[in-house]
A and B are shown apart, each in its own frame.
Chain A
Amino acid sequence: MNPLFPHTTSKWLGLALGFCLFAASFVASIAFGQTRIAFGTVVDAFFHYDQHSTEHLIITTTRLSRAVIAAVIGASLAIAGALMQALTRNPLASPSIFGINAGAVFFVVMAITFFSMHSLSQYMWIAFIGAGVSAIMVYMLGSLGRDGLSPIKIVLAGSAITALFVSLTQGLLVVSEQNLQAVLFWLAGSVAGRSLEMLEPVMPFMAAAWGIALLIGRSVNILTSGDDIAKGLGQRTVAVKMLMAVVIVILAGGSVAIGGSIGFIGLIVPHIVRGLVGVDYRWIIPFCAFIGASLLLLSDVAARFIIMPQEVPIGVMTALIGTPFFIYIARRGFNKE
């Protein structure tokens, strides 16, 4: 199947388009919301900021932070998904399917229950640890048996680990009504109500992870042609794999810490991107960033309007969009990969 942008020139063009899409989504997220704000006002808020204008304040506080957070999480999840799919050679890999989200959620809920941790910077680390632990568990569980890590086995392992952490989380929350009500929104996935300050502790790590992801594009390409070939070409496969794993854990764990359990982005965006640019990971990563961010931004806009003034949790939106796509991929099978 030929990618939409087969040649390098067209890839650059595609990337520029991707950036435009991202920019448009970002602007849409800022411009559309419960309070009707004219487009001109939006522009003014950035270029002729008036601190006494309510609308300018809304834009620069609530809407901006929400858009930035959605963009960061969307990009991160998409990149994490792409790397996971490369690492496990499984087109269905994604942080939610592999239980990484569930693990991070469980560890955070444990922190809230037993250690009364409430600030994001505290439970960011917990989320990383949780993501890491569940990744390891899934990997080991999926490798059981004679034929090692096969795509279907790891999906099953992910499902089992998800079930494990979800039920442990339920166990903690069912006995504490107060805790349950407190984390309910976060559990369902949410980018609302978070200020940009919340992003500060996590941002350095996420940015570093993005940087590494971009740089190892070539190594990932080699890796995807098969372990033996990669080793034959002199690549230190173990090192590359570990690096990929670390990046995945940071991106997925960080996303969960900020936004709760948001699924499907990591699954479908890499597929869309591969259809656009083929299998070169040096291109896949940046495309994923733009498209992932755009998708989450647009989902967020939609989530705001359906039951105004209440909102549909964004995890639900992405699930609704992602499921038909997932089914399509599953029916198509693994043969084409």
Chain B
Amino acid sequence: MNKYLSLRNRSGTVSFLLEKKAIATFLVLVCVFIILFLGGLSVGSTMLHPIEVIKHLFGLGSGEYTFIIETLRLPRMIVASLVGAALGVSGLILQGMIRNPLGSPDIIGITGGASFAAVLFINYFSNTFSIKWLPLAAIAGAGVMSLLIYFLAWKRGVTPVRLVLIGIGMAAAASAMTTMMLVLGDNYATSQAYLWLTGSVYGANWQHVYALLPWVLIFIPLALLFSKTANAQELGDSVASGLGVSVQRHRFGLLLISVALAGAAVAFAGAIGFVGLIAPHIARKLVGRSFGSLLPVTALIGGMIVFLADVVARTAFLPLDLPAGIFVSGIGAPFFIYLLYRNRHQ
């Protein structure tokens, strides 16, 4: 029986190969996602029965909990899932690009640039402008920083190595500037900025969902279109060129997608770390290395990590509502240790 399923359009510009096993895994994950999502919707300061939640979603509920489910929990969990998915895919693209499993959106300065812009905004502009402009400032910061890094890394082309190195250096510089603003800003700004830097989906509403949705719905499928290239680039620049891939252009394209996804995610959830690092790893363990299969799985896993972290954050320490970022790191840490443990013999 054929292990693979191949999808291609007539001219061959778009093609990817899917393992049937991967499809099965994906479907299982979708089910897991739905179950956990429902669980998340039921849990919180007021514990609801999952059946009650399902009834509400289909409009048959008693109306008593509509506010909690529809206004508070649902948008928050959707934003969390979208953010996680975007970060996961962004990390996946970067890891493929630099051919190293430790890549993440941080290294191309997205988080650093967005953090700097966000803290700048909170410190100096939040009196003049409504806080609703903060996501825009953050995305702008991410974009500017990424462009800067790209140009600094350009020397007759951009190699992954140079990109990473410059990215890390600039991230350190951005971090220092951000810390300076934290230290010298006034107390209220510092608290708010620090919350943002930890990463939180507190206060997410439907406006945020609608603003974030286009980014995710456009760029993730777009990434899928590049999967042929991504797989080839993974083999190395010379091999890829030999296979007919215009490496520099596609690299730019993939970078763009990665920045767009991570930038949008960070804009709405603050500087949540790790998802971009861990989600692709877990996905690889489940479905192997083909980009076409990895992408949807990574998105699902990334989304799950973030919304689960948020559920824990708003439930574990009642009545406090803590930033989800804390718990994403809480998941990240054991994961790293696990990673080290499993590979200790290498």
Is B249 engaged at the interface, CB distance under 8 Å to the other chain?
no
Closest to B182 in A: A184
**Contact: B166 with A320, CB < 8 Å?**
no
Interface-located stretch among B73-81, B171-179, B234-242, B261-269: B171-179
**Contact: A313 with B161, CB < 8 Å?**
no
Dominant SS among interface residues on chain B: helix
Is A323 engaged at the interface, CB distance under 8 Å to the other chain?
yes
**Contact: A167 with B172, CB < 8 Å?**
no
Interface-located stretch among A67-75, A239-247, A326-334: A326-334
B329 CB contact (under 8 Å) in A164, A188, A322: A164
**Contact: A330 with B169, CB < 8 Å?**
yes
**Contact: A170 with B169, CB < 8 Å?**
no
Q: Given A167-B329, A174-B326, decide whether A155 and B176 contact each other with a Cβ distance below 8 A.
A: no
Contacts of B346 on A, CB cut-off 8 Å? Answer: 143-146
**Contact: B172 with A141, CB < 8 Å?**
no
Q: Given A310-B184, A316-B176, decide whether A164 and B333 contact each other with a Cβ distance below 8 A.
A: yes
Indicate with 1 or 0, residue by residue over A264-308, a CB within 8 angstroms of chain B CB atoms: 100000000000000000000000000000000000000000010
Q: How far is the CA of A316 from the CA of B106 in the complex (A)?
A: 19
Interface-located stretch among A14-22, A79-87, A111-119, A175-183: A175-183
B168 CB contact (under 8 Å) in A153, A159, A171, A307: A159
Closest to A186 in B: B183
**Contact: B336 with A170, CB < 8 Å?**
no
Contacts of B138 on A, CB cut-off 8 Å? Answer: none
Q: Given A180-B194, A313-B179, decide whether A171 and B339 contact each other with a Cβ distance below 8 A.
A: no
Q: What distance in Å separates the Cβ of A269 from its nearest Cβ neighbour in chain B?
A: 16
Closest to B167 in A: A159
Is A198 engaged at the interface, CB distance under 8 Å to the other chain?
no
**Contact: B191 with A168, CB < 8 Å?**
no
Indicate with 1 or 0, residue by residue over B258-280, a CB within 8 angstroms of chain A CB atoms: 00000000000000011001000
**Contact: B101 with A188, CB < 8 Å?**
no
Is B187 engaged at the interface, CB distance under 8 Å to the other chain?
yes
**Contact: A170 with B102, CB < 8 Å?**
no
CB contact list, B301-346 vs A, under 8 A: 320, 322-323, 325-330, 332-333, 336, 339-340, 343-344, 346
How many residues from A make CB contacts under 8 Å with B? 54
Contacts of B106 on A, CB cut-off 8 Å? Answer: 159, 163
Q: How far is the CA of A333 from the CA of B166 in the complex (A)?
A: 11
**Contact: A159 with B329, CB < 8 Å?**
no
A155 CB contact (under 8 Å) in B168, B195, B197, B328: B168
A170 CB contact (under 8 Å) in B190, B325, B332, B344: B325
**Contact: A167 with B176, CB < 8 Å?**
no
**Contact: B107 with A171, CB < 8 Å?**
no
How many residues from B make CB contacts under 8 Å with A? 58
Find the residue from B171, B176, B333 having the highest chain A CB count within 10 A: B176
Is B155 engaged at the interface, CB distance under 8 Å to the other chain?
yes
Contacts of A334 on B, CB cut-off 8 Å? Answer: 161
Indicate with 1 or 0, residue by residue over B195-214, a CB within 8 angstroms of chain A CB atoms: 10111000000000000000
Contacts of A164 on B, CB cut-off 8 Å? Answer: 273-274, 329, 332-333, 336
**Contact: A326 with B169, CB < 8 Å?**
yes
Contacts of A124 on B, CB cut-off 8 Å? Answer: none
Q: What distance in Å separates the Cβ of A194 from its nearest Cβ neighbour in chain B?
A: 17
Indicate with 1 or 0, residue by residue over B224-263, a CB within 8 angstroms of chain A CB atoms: 0000000000000000000000000000000000000000
**Contact: A92 with B165, CB < 8 Å?**
yes
Q: How far is the CA of A315 from the CA of B273 in the complex (A)?
A: 22
Is B100 engaged at the interface, CB distance under 8 Å to the other chain?
yes
A319 CB contact (under 8 Å) in B173, B187, B339: B173
Q: What distance in Å separates the Cβ of A250 from its nearest Cβ neighbour in chain B?
A: 23
Is B104 engaged at the interface, CB distance under 8 Å to the other chain?
yes
Is B180 engaged at the interface, CB distance under 8 Å to the other chain?
yes
Contacts of B339 on A, CB cut-off 8 Å? Answer: 141, 144
A152 CB contact (under 8 Å) in B161, B176, B330: B161
**Contact: B325 with A167, CB < 8 Å?**
yes
Q: How far is the CA of A7 from the CA of B329 in the complex (A)?
A: 52
A167 CB contact (under 8 Å) in B152, B166, B170, B198: B198
Q: A146-B346, A170-B194, A316-B177 are in contact. List 15 more A-B contacts (CB 8 A).
A: A141-B339, A152-B165, A156-B107, A164-B336, A167-B198, A167-B273, A171-B329, A175-B322, A312-B180, A320-B173, A330-B166, A330-B169, A331-B153, A331-B162, A333-B162
Q: Which 3 A-B pairs have the closest CB atoms?
A: A319-B176, A171-B326, A330-B165
